[in-house]
């Protein structure tokens, strides 16, 4: 159990596992608060405003106030809604997002569960979200919700294909699907990162275009999977009001809200793991102790969260058919070509 | 083309149905016509070489006391001239032929005139209230209109 | 082991239904209280029925109960994003009925005010159009600029939005000494921001893909429907009342009538309508620059020409080019202090009636884009 | 009094300690995080958009726009309420989740404004159909006036009593609450009867037949 220092310290007992499970939960709650504040503040700065200013110094405890408020709002279940599905959907969506945190590493000494199918596992449990959104949208008995849910399901299922192709390519490059295996194969200086061809001789630089294409395919696909702009059509305010969560109020809505932000971190962490060397310091062994590794990992992931927020306030939204066009006619062929190219690189190495 | 030329042209084509031309100072030149054959007159105005009133500016319903009037302001983009056509109908039987198929613009204008003044445009495909609620009573722009006291349980006067 | 059942789907019994979706009156992108009954087949729009009247404020009845001067504030409230342009045709119409003329200096100030408000109105149009496409940031940039215009108009009239500044026979008061400096400042800022908006929004690939070839309005249909303003010009019809039927001092000013050219798609699509507004802002700036030169410092009293008694007899249809299109007032005066009838011909009312014609067969998201490109103001539609 | 105000004026317990009640914390959360409905009616809506925009920046108060009434805390009636619209506004208000507040912005929604005399189709004051918390005068109100209204609303929320014991209430309040319960039951029964009668129309608002 070298990848989990808590198990090393406390031994193999139930308390150790509970603590191991609690840390990601605390992390996701704190992260969600930071991300909500970041969303408000970054939006404001992009738009030449100040953002929340009156809740604590510079408004930094605004998300806390929001949680306090959402806790005490009335919980409405529409009269003609399908109650079991309507009430379960927020929990399913949060479970789906949170389950992915089981294998997301923080440093080489703390991976909550270092299973040998890690990347595949994240990919699998993320699909929970689709089910939950369909459940919530259909059960709401609201036409906007149904439209949003159907849009969301078609979008997320389509975009899983190019992203899964990128995962296969990275697996071919690293010869493993384990999170720690993929990250360890990129150890060393930053030119060993998968984005720059992974470890190997100079011939790998010939394959960088394939990896760049793959990186872009994965990043765009992950934007679509997290329902972020420019692919936020399932909840596109100007068209279908709130999309699948139109009818949700109070904490059930907060669950959807939290899950969206948690999903953003999951996809950013995946990019970090697959392309940017995971917890590895960019400078070889310099600043590469386990504590620094946690810093590097979270910093890399958060920078992609930032890019997602930044894009949201810059780009307009695409249309449903354009979205499908991008997925099936542009990204899928590109991903296939890259997969072949990178498999070749894997063979050479 | 000047208003009196337009009037002469209409007079030759339609004869008795064209009543008069008003060119008083202070008034815009307007031609008063009978409502009976209005659609043909409008089609003539739209399609006849030299007139070509292709652009419908405005349609207004007016309460003239005993009568209700409909005023058509037409403009020609090709010839850059304009004319006003007027129709008067009695309040008891305010039937005016609908011109919505001559200029599609008048579809909503006629519905509005029906809504506010109660002018009945014969031949309109969907002559329903447009601004006021469907179950509103009366036509507010008539001079003898009295405000209702209550509407759906809400008090109307201040 | 259960028996393997042969599941047969009777395709003859599978049928689809059109979904009826009620958009509005409260919906983020209906620009007010418009209600659209949309019939959808999947995402495709089969039918649209606009329902209006949720803001019917009895303008025409109010006019019959007020004197000519008292009507001006109500005219402001018709199209509340560009009050100056509403006042202009009404005031010009009453002046024509009375047979009075005003000096060129007053006309120049009126034109400057109207053009400033035209810019402000077009800025709102482009901003909300961006919002409809999902781009939030241009909205805030444009509103920041609009605030500058409002400051100048507030300094002039004392009010931020509904001015009551242009009076029958004159103005409410004269311009303040630093007026021209403020105008130069506005011209500079608007040009800078418009360049930025072009980068951020109008040339954005996603935005172009969303708007080009959407909601194409052919010129003959546009004319037959009575469309006007940027909606008509985007279809390639060079029709601008400031040029073809000049009022005020527009015949002395040099400006271009901008038409849609189909730069990104077909002539008359949503992108063209938006682009015509962007071009018109530039032309308005040119008009302001020229009209500024006509304001010579003089001791003229702008209130001197306001008649004591306004009771015209006669009738006319007075029209002017509003940012939305042809705004007309059919005024009937019977020699009393209150008009017998004032009918407002609102451009948005006519432009909105085209929407069932041009939005069928497009997707639901396109319907929102088309609605945004028409640039409606419900206060004017419902009056 | 909000929690943060207590920071300036803590109870005399000692250094680095400040006390507050649960009610204060709950009220603080409600007052500092106000989500409003993106809903505009008339002229005031334009001024309201200006308040939202960069120069005045409404988000400084913690106000975030939400398109769906289920997630909003307060609604701004920004403009003239017509009789045709009044029923829709009432319905929107009923769709909002408690606790909910109403700001009436501008003369028109306060009292009918310039249309009070001849407006046959204008509702003379939105408080004839829904309860209003804050009235903002002006036609339209300046953004500064609107912000003051927002501050008033926040201070009103801060002073609300959330936990009220029945025995501490005045008898007329209890009677009013009981009366309201009976009314609600009656309304529910009426609605049920209506729904059964018009079962095929549920979920469709006045479909044009």
User: ipTM of this predicted complex?
Assistant: 0.86
Please give the Cα distance from A269 to A121 (Å, whole number): 14
Average pLDDT, chain C: 85
**Chain C residue at shortest CA distance from B145:** C61
Residue with tokens 């696909």: A221
Q: Please tell me the distance in Å from D209's CA to the nearest CA on chain B.
A: 12
Q: What is the pLDDT of residues D132-147, one digit of tens each?
A: 989 998 888 888 898 8
Nearest chain C residue (CA) to B81: C245
- With an 8 Å Cβ cutoff, is A73 touching chain C? no
The token duo for C318 is 């007075």
Per the model's pLDDT, the better-predicted residue between D60 and C2 turns out to be D60
Res D165 pLDDT > 50: yes
pLDDT of residue D207: 40
Quick check: C326 and C222 in contact, CB under 8 A? Answer: no
pLDDT band at D18, cuts 50/70/90? low
Q: Give the distance from residue D37's alpha carbon to the nearest chain C alpha carbon, in angstroms.
A: 9
Q: Indicate the pLDDT class of residue D108, thresholds 50, 70 and 90.
A: confident
Cis, bond preceding B72 (omega within 30 deg of 0): no
Cβ(D111)–Cβ(D124) below 8 Å? yes
∠ CA(D164), CA(D165), CA(D171), 5° rounding? 95
- Cβ(A24)–Cβ(A101) below 8 Å: yes
The residue that leads in pLDDT, C7 or B92, is: B92
* Contact (Cβ atoms closer than 8 angstroms) between residue A127 and residue A160: yes
The answer, yes or no, to whether residue C67 has pLDDT greater than 70, is: yes
Question: A-chain residues within 8 Å CB-CB of D203?
Answer: 80, 141, 143
* Interface contact C136, partner A, CB < 8 A: yes
For residues C254-271, give the mean pLDDT: 85
Interface of C with B (CB under 8 A): 52-53, 56, 58, 60-61, 64, 97, 99, 221, 223-226, 237, 239, 244-245, 312-317, 319, 326, 328, 330, 332, 340-341, 343, 345, 349-350, 353, 357, 382-383
User: How many helices (H) and strands (E) are present in chain C, helices listed first?
Assistant: 15, 8
Q: What is the pLDDT along chain A (349 residues), one digit of tens a residue?
A: 467 777 777 777 888 888 888 888 888 888 888 888 888 888 888 888 888 888 878 888 888 888 888 888 888 888 778 888 888 888 888 888 888 888 888 887 778 777 888 888 888 888 888 888 888 888 888 888 888 888 888 888 888 888 888 888 888 888 888 888 888 888 777 777 877 777 777 777 777 888 888 888 888 888 888 777 777 776 666 677 777 888 888 888 888 888 888 888 888 888 888 888 888 888 877 777 888 888 888 888 889 888 888 888 888 888 888 888 888 888 899 988 888 888 888 777 7
DSSP per-residue letters across A301-336: HHHHHHHHHHHHTT--PPPHHHHHHIIIIIIHHHHH
What percent of chain C stands above pLDDT 70?
Answer: 96
D144/A156 Cα distance (integer angstroms): 44
Q: How far is B83 from chain D (nearest CA, A)?
A: 33
Task: Report the residue from C332, C350, C382 with minimal CB separation from B131.
Answer: C382
Inter-chain touch D83–B152, beta carbons under 8 Å: yes
Q: D98 to chain A: nearest residue by CA?
A: A74
Residues 6 or more apart from A23 whose CB is under 8 A from it? A6, A110, A112
Tens of pLDDT, residues C213-227: 888 888 888 888 888
- Pairing type for strands B150-151 and B154-155 reads antiparallel
Query: Does residue D197 sit in helix, strand or coil?
Result: helix
Per residue in C135-153, pLDDT (tens digit) is 888 888 888 888 888 888 8
Nearest chain C residue to A325 by CA distance is C209
Measure the CA–CA gap between D154 and D63, rounded to whole angstroms.
Answer: 11
pLDDT at residue D199, as a whole number: 58
Q: Which of C33, C149, C157 to mutate against chain D (most D CBs within 10 Å)? A: C33
Q: Is the pLDDT of residue C2 over 80?
A: no
Note whether D116 and D89 are within 8 A (CB). no
Residue B67 β-bridge partners: B90
* CB-based contact D124 B152, cutoff 8 Å: no
Q: What is the mean pLDDT of residues C31-57?
A: 86
What predicted TM-score, i.e. pTM, was given to this entire model? 0.87
Predicted confidence at residue D209, as pLDDT, reads 34
User: Across chain B, what does the average pLDDT equal?
Assistant: 85
What pLDDT is attached to residue C270?
A: 87
What is the C-alpha separation between C315 and C332, in angstroms, rounded? 4
Determine which helix (DSSP H) or strand (DSSP E) holds A164, and give its type and residue range: helix A143-174
Strand C166-167 to C170-171 pairing: antiparallel
Cα–Cα distance, C119 to C182 (Å, whole number): 15
Residue D13: the pLDDT is: 47
| pLDDT for C7 | 58
Q: Which of A143, A315, A320 sits opposite C363 (nearest CB)?
A: A320
How high is the pLDDT of residue D1? 42
Q: Token pair 């609600």 is at which residue?
A: D184
Model confidence at D203, pLDDT cuts 50, 70, 90, reads very low
Give how far the C-alpha of residue C217 lies from the chain's centroid of Cα atoms, to the nearest Å: 18
- The winner for highest mean pLDDT among B2-6, B7-11, C329-333 is C329-333
Q: Answer whether B28's CB lies under 8 Å from C317's CB.
A: yes
Size of interface B-C (CB pairs under 8 A): 90
Average the pLDDT over D20-42 and give the result: 82
B131 vs D contacts (CB less than 8 Å): 121
Angle value at C-alpha D88, between C57 and D177, nearest 5 degrees: 120
Predicted local distance difference test score (pLDDT) of residue D20: 66
Nearest residue in chain D measured CA to CA from B156: D123
């Amino acid at each position: 159990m070298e990848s989990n220092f808590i198990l090393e310290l406390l031994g193999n007992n139930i308390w150790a596992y509970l603590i191991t499970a609690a840390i990601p939960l605390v992390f996701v709650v704190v992260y969600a608060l930071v991300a909500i504040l970041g969303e408000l503040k970054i939006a404001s700065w992009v738009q030449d405003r100040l953002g929340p200013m009156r809740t604590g110094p510079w408004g930094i405890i605004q998300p806390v106030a929001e949680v306090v408020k959402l806790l005490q709002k009335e919980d409405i279940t529409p009269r003609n809604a399908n109650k079991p599905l309507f009430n379960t959907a927020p929990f399913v969506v949060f479970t789906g997002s949170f389950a992915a945190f089981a294998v997301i590493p923080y440093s080489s000494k703390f991976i909550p569960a270092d299973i040998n199918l890690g990347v595949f596992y994240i990919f699998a449990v993320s699909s929970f979200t689709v089910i939950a959104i369909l459940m919530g949208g259909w059960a709401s008995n609201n036409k906007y919700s149904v439209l949003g849910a159907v849009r969301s399901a078609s979008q997320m299922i389509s975009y899983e294909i190019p992203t899964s192709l990128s995962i296969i390519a990275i697996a071919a490059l690293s010869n493993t699907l384990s999170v720690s295996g993929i990250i360890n194969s990129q150890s060393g200086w930053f030119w060993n990162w998968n984005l720059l061809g992974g470890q190997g001789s100079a011939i790998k630089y010939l394959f960088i275009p394939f990896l760049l294409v793959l990186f872009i395919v994965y990043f765009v696909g992950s934007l679509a999977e997290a329902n972020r702009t420019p692919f936020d059509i399932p909840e596109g305010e100007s068209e279908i009001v709130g999309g699948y969560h139109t009818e949700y109020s109070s904490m059930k809505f907060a669950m959807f809200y939290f899950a969206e932000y948690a999903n953003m971190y999951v996809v950013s962490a995946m990019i970090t793991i697959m392309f940017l060397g995971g917890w590895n310091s960019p400078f070889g062994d310099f600043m590469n102790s386990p504590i620094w590794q946690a810093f590097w990992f979270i910093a890399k992931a958060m920078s992609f969260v930032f890019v997602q927020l930044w894009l949201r306030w810059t780009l307009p939204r695409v249309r449903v058919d354009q979205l499908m066009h991008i997925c099936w006619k542009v990204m899928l062929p590109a991903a296939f070509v890259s997969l072949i190219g990178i498999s070749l690189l894997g063979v050479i190495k | 083309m000047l208003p009196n030329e337009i009037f002469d042209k209409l007079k030759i084509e339609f004869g008795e149905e064209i009543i008069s031309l008003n060119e008083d100072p202070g008034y815009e030149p307007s031609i008063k016509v009978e409502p009976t054959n209005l659609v043909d007159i409008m089609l003539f105005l739209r399609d006849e070489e030299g007139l070509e009133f292709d652009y419908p500016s405005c349609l207004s319903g007016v309460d003239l006391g005993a009568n209700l009037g409909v005023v058509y302001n037409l403009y020609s983009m090709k010839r850059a001239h304009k004319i006003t056509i007027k129709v008067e109908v009695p309040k008891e039987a305010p039937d005016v032929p609908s011109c919505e198929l001559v200029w599609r613009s008048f579809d909503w204008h006629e519905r509005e005139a029906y809504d506010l003044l109660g002018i009945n445009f014969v031949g309109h495909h969907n002559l329903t209230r447009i601004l006021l609620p469907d179950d509103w009573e009366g036509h507010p722009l008539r001079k003898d209109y009295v405000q209702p006291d209550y509407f759906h349980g809400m008090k109307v006067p201040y | 082991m259960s028996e393997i059942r042969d599941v047969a789907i009777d395709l003859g019994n599978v049928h689809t239904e059109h979904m009826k979706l009620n958009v509005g009156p409260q919906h983020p992108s209906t620009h007010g209280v418009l209600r659209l009954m949309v019939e959808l087949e999947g995402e495709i729009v089969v039918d649209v029925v606009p329902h209006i009247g949720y803001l019917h404020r009895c303008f025409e009845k109010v006019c019959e109960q007020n004197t000519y001067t008292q009507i001006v504030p109500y005219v402001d409230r018709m199209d509340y994003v560009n009050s100056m342009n509403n006042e202009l045709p009404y005031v010009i119409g009453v002046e024509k009925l009375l047979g009075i003329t005003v000096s060129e200096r007053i006309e120049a100030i009126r034109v400057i005010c109207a053009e400033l408000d035209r810019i402000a109105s077009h800025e709102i149009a482009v901003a909300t159009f961006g919002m409809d496409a999902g781009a939030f940031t241009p909205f805030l940039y444009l509103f920041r600029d609009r605030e500058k215009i409002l400051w100048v108009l507030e300094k002039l009239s004392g009010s931020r939005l509904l001015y009551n500044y242009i009076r029958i026979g004159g103005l409410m008061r004269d311009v303040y000494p630093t007026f021209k400096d403020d105008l130069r400042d506005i011209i500079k800022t608007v040009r800078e921001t418009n360049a930025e908006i072009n980068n951020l929004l109008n040339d954005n690939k996603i935005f172009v893909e969303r708007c080009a070839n959407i909601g194409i309005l052919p010129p003959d249909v546009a004319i037959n429907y009575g469309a006007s303003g940027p909606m008509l010009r985007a279809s390639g019809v060079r029709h601008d009342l400031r040029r073809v039927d000049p009022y005020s001092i527009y015949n002395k000013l040099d400006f271009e009538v901008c038409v849609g050219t189909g730069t990104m798609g077909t002539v008359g699509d949503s992108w063209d309508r938006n682009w015509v507004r962007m071009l018109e802002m530039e032309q308005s700036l040119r008009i302001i620059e020229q009209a500024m030169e006509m304001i010579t410092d003089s001791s003229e009293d702008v209130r001197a020409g306001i008649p004591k008694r306004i009771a015209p007899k006669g009738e006319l249809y007075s029209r002017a080019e509003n940012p939305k299109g042809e705004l007309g007032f059919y005024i009937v005066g019977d020699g009393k202090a209150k008009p017998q009838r004032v009918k407002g011909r609102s451009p948005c009312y006519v432009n909105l009636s085209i929407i069932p014609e041009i939005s069928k067969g497009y997707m639901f998201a396109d319907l929102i884009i088309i609605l945004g490109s028409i640039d409606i103001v419900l206060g004017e539609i419902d009056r | 009094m909000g929690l943060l105000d207590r920071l300036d004026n803590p109870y005399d317990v000692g250094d680095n300690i400040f006390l507050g009640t649960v009610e204060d914390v709950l009220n603080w959360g409600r007052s500092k995080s106000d989500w409003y409905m993106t809903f505009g009616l008339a002229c005031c809506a334009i001024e309201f958009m200006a308040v939202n925009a960069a120069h005045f920046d409404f988000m400084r108060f913690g106000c975030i726009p939400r398109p769906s009434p289920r997630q909003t805390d307060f609604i701004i009636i920004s403009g003239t309420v017509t009789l045709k619209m009044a029923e829709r506004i009432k319905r929107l208000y009923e769709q909002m989740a408690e606790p909910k507040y109403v700001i009436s912005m501008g003369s028109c929604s306060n009292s009918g404004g310039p249309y009070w005399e001849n407006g046959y189709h204008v509702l003379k004051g939105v408080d004839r159909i829904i309860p209003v918390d804050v009235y903002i005068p002006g036609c339209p109100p300046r953004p500064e006036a609107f912000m003051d209204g927002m501050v008033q609303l926040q201070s009103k929320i801060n002073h609300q009593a959330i936990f009220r014991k029945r025995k501490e209430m005045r008898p007329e309040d209890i009677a009013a609450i009981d009366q309201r319960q009976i009314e609600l039951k009656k309304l529910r029964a009426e609605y049920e009867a209506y729904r059964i009668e018009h079962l095929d129309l549920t979920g469709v608002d006045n479909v044009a037949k």
